[in-house]
A = this chain, B = another copy of it.
């Protein structure tokens, strides 16, 4: 029996929490299980390192950010391993590089290309608990890389895929909820959810799992479990869809905050200029989310898209430069918005979900700025002020 077990930043926030984890791992190891443990940086470490870098320079080079941020997990793996050893459990810590995690892409947002699990397998065969730094790897040039926020989940799932074993993600929530319990206290934890539903939820802002990791789990058929590290309560299993899932028309509502809506208008030569804009954004690896376009009376159009609010300085600089060559085109960026998404595999087979949502918004005078749909989700851009009201209306209406 072998498992990859991942603990997030709040589960390793201090030495006491690490001791709890160590004892938990020890019990499982004693019962003969082979364990690969992936840990994040302790609590607020990553943010502290980020602000140190920003104190130093306005736009830190991303290669150096990776060099710096990767130290957070390195401290965590060393501490957890020391504690395991003090408890009498043989253990070894490995940085991303030492664990053979080869990555590619841009610094601070690398993707895992392959994992050479030779060193991990060797240590496992010697009875050691292997503690791997999440969130980091190395590229072909031998540089230290990081996988971007939430990257420790990706590390864990990718390791589980390569090691052909299930993956457990322990975090500060006790599983996946259809609605954020902080907004809707009656919310129920889901016992299971499909990969696809989870992916939509993750992409759409449910903060429990990083979407890329669900993707990898789905692709390699890694059984995922998400639960709380501090309580004995059962969590949520993420796996292939089952019949029972179909009974729910919608599985959850998720809210993505910290986004911005960028509007460009009036835009002429639409197809040419739209292509220019979005290829420029793609080149800089700006993730553009909801795109909408409306015709203006003079034949030009207004184009809007949403993206992470963190990208605001970069997007503003890029587009200001690009639009300066297009006569009279204006750029406006709104940050007072959020994205609300309703997700459920059931949507495929049950009509009327969209209609019911439009009714709800209309009856309650909630206006939205954009709407997009996928096979199993509908997303709206709303002003932030509608957040709680909209979530509660939907949760009540769909018995979440």
Contact = CB atoms under 8 A, between A and B. Distances in A.
Interface of A: 15, 18-19, 49, 52-53, 55-61, 63-65, 67-68, 70-71, 74-75, 77-79, 81-83, 85-86, 92-93, 95, 97-98, 119, 142-144
Contact of A144 (B75, B85, B95): B95
B68 A85 contact: no
Q: Which 4 residue pairs are nearest across A and B when measured between Cβ atoms?
A: A68-B78, A71-B71, A57-B86, A67-B78
Nearest to A71: B71
6 contacts: A15-B55, A52-B79, A56-B79, A59-B86, A71-B75, A98-B142
Is chain A's interface secondary structure helix, strand, loop, or mixed overall? helix
Contact of A81 (B49, B58, B64, B95): B64
Contact of A18 (B56, B63, B64, B92): B56
Nearest to A14: B55
Contacts of A86: 56-60
A188 to B, nearest CB: 38
Contacts of A56: 15, 18-19, 79, 82-83, 86
Contacts of A70: 74
A83 B67 contact: no
Nearest to A73: B71
Contact of A57 (B53, B82, B98, B144): B82
A52 B15 CA distance: 8
A65 to B, nearest CB: 7
A48 B83 CA distance: 18
Contacts of A71: 71, 74-75
Contacts of A59: 86
Contacts of A19: 56
Contacts of A83: 56-57
Contact of A64 (B57, B68, B93): B93
B64 A49 contact: no
Contacts of A81: 61, 64, 67
